[in-house]
Structure 1
Amino acid sequence: MNPKIQQVYIAGLKATVLVRDPSRLNGELAKDTTVIQGDVTNLEDVRKVMNGQDGVVVALGTRNQLDATTVMSHGLRNILLAMKEFGVPRISVCLSSFLFWDPAKLPAQFSHIHSEHVNMIQQLEASDREWVACLPPHIAANEPDNKGNYKVIHNENAPRRIVSKHDLGHFLVHCLMTDEHLSKRCGICSPEPPKEEEQKA
């Protein structure tokens, strides 16, 4: 199950998701989730999922395509417009820890995606919604679920350069339930593994 949606159910909440291709959702996820097929760059599609929601989790990506694009920033613009229209107050957005970096040191291949993330954080900071920006480092599928035991730092990079997809999903959902992280750029990382595991690696 998608870790972000999984955390919704663990928290006792319900989820509505907007996806281009519902077949990419596994059967368990599709069964327990209201699935709307559409495109985040189409405002009418975004409106379909917004009515009646209490919060929004945004995890837009390019499927490893690093070419110039405006899909993510355009999509976030539509999300913020629809949130205002339907009175949805809170949003968490997954971006990248590169936003903490000196731009001169950014790997050249990530420049287009970084420009999109800069646009997106600027949109959040200029909006009238209650927002949380999550800036993760490398997102690891094979790191364990630490059940909320991860590190979050406001407005600076987290000390470890890796975060479990489960920990990231937990934060993106649970940060909407507290005022602690509002209007913050949040660095996040999973805890260090036990010493014996490090030695085996």
Structure 2
Amino acid sequence: MSSIKKIVIFGATGNTGLATVAKAIAQGFEVTAFVRDQTKLPDDLKVASVVVGDVTNADDVDKAVQGQDAVVVVLGTRTNLGPTTVMSDGTRNIVESMKKHGIKRISVCLSAFLFWKPDAIPPPVINVHEDHLRMETIIKESGLDWVILCPPHIDNADGKGEYKLVKEQGAGPKISKHDLGDALLKVLNTDEWLHTRVGMGY
């Protein structure tokens, strides 16, 4: 596969999104940040371009996807844990735009709860988890070259730089947002994790 340089990051101003943007810039990627509010993107993050839009608007998504080599999805609901389809609706738009423009590679951040039994999911996160399940289905049925990262609890600690990735199972109780960002980029330029849900840990 060819080396990937131009990427768009959806959810770029979220907690993990900002860490991923910073990692991508440091690693030499040409980054397009897709954001709802440009003021939440710090001035010191020198991205190649910014697309302000709503991920549930297909035209907005299309503007960001066109011309990219790959896509990184770090969508979230911040502190809103109510019923939602925003993340899955956005993912559907992203997938359709990638198909339209012939872009194959995508890494997606979901959750280690995907490895849990349904009756073990903590009630407060049920709504978000249900939308993650919808996202997972959309990605798996997309026909794209996808990798789904399933992190455990994401903390704000400095990245250790050394973490483990494990196929189809959880790998630890927590992960730094910086190491998660690194992993979302790492899986883009290798076929090792293709079409796999990947657990993370130390």
Q: Same fold (TM over 0.5)?
A: yes
Structure 2: runs of 5+ lacking an equivalent: 1-16
Q: Corresponding residue for 2:121? A: 106
Match for residue 150 of structure 1 among 163, 174, 178: 163
CA contact (8 A) 2:33 2:47 kept: no
The 5-angstrom pairing of residues 164-183 of structure 1 reads 164-183=176-195
> What percent of counterpart residues are identical?
43
Cα offset, 1:150, TM superposition: 0.3
Cα offset, 1:83, TM superposition: 0.4
Distance 2:101 2:47 in 1: 24
The 5-angstrom pairing of residues 113-152 of structure 1 reads 113-141=128-156, 143-147=157-161, 149-152=162-165
Task: Tell me the SS of whatever aligns to 2:30.
Answer: coil
Distance 1:84 1:171 in 2: 24
Cα offset, 1:33, TM superposition: 3.4
Distance 1:33 1:140 in 2: 27
Structure 1: runs of 5+ lacking an equivalent: 192-201
Structure with bigger gyration radius: 1
What is the alpha-carbon root mean square deviation over aligned residues? 1.2
Structure with a larger share of its residues in helix:
1
Q: Corresponding residue for 1:197? A: none
**Is 1:5 the counterpart of 2:21 in the alignment?**
yes
Runs of 4+ more than 6 Å apart: none
The 5-angstrom pairing of residues 1-201 of structure 1 reads 2-29=18-45, 31-141=46-156, 143-147=157-161, 149-158=162-171, 160-189=172-201, 191=202
Distance 2:36 2:174 in 1: 28
Task: Tell me the SS of whatever aligns to 1:139.
Answer: strand
Aligned AA (1:145): G
Distance 2:101 2:88 in 1: 20
Cα offset, 1:51, TM superposition: 1.3
Aligned AA (2:163): Y
Distance 2:190 2:130 in 1: 29
Aligned AA (1:45): D
Distance 1:123 1:129 in 2: 10
For residues 135-155 of structure 1, what are the alpha-carbon distances to aligned partners after superposition, in whole Å with 9 as ceiling and x for unaligned? 0011001x22222x1011000
Q: Corresponding residue for 2:5? A: none
Distance 1:98 1:42 in 2: 28
